[in-house]
Structure 1
């Protein structure tokens, strides 16, 4: 038996409050095939789409207590989880893996002027980052130094995903402006 659209939120709340397996089974039966079809239309191969759908439903089971029916419908919430899981995997896969360097017998040591240049650039970056807001510094630290996906940053900071992306973009624009050759040394 498939519940009406207005009852999906109640099923999620049943999963959250009492770990109701029957409620979860109804959610899974209804949403899993729809998630798979949606993800396949978005370009995922059938096997991967099924994995993403199952992963999304497992997240529904684990995080049902985070569902807020005042912010989104159950379907929107579940489809967003599936989409974000897929995007996280695509981002991880698109990052270039580091190529191991092959040590050559006659490898040149680092030149002193290169080392000095690297130190100067790091100093300029530190100085430029002092002109960012604490919120911008925090999202940059989480994104680039700790290599967290945007969705994880949003979860950690309890912010909407769009706010995280906006802070990162604004911080990068400001850093780029401050570090352009015409403005180097002009941090006022």
Structure 2
């Protein structure tokens, strides 16, 4: 597993669960560091979209990651995926922070997960895992340039302007690659992969 610094390498749900197990069972600091490197920027983006300021996002990411370290043994892969569990901890930390400060939770925070089952069935998890696998396979059929921007946009949750700077290409090129890649992925998925 190559989580360290490789933005294109998105760990599978099984790899994330393995990291959580290593943290819970062995107090594995390297596994925690890998989880931190992967989730910290994503959590900051997630919390920023919920209306938290930049400094507040950084504090909440630290609080979330500390909670993950402390509560790793309570993670149950049969109840939720690692990402769902971590984002729920972050969301709750943000809501708690607002309540402590007397600001109340934002509408977005309160409704963010209303459409998802907090305790999905085994069947639902299998369907989600199968869909994710199909998307990963479909990504391999894209030209490298398109696959890279898709990974950075959707898995990395990077703004397109940041992707353009990172790759050293115009913003319009990033947008075109995303559009073309999504059209190809949609066709591939519709054709049954």
Query: TM-score normalised to the size of structure 1?
Result: 0.49
The one of the two structures with greater contact order (alpha-carbon pairs below 8 A, sep at least 6) is 2
Larger-gyration structure (1/2): 1
Query: TM-score normalised to the size of structure 2?
Result: 0.48
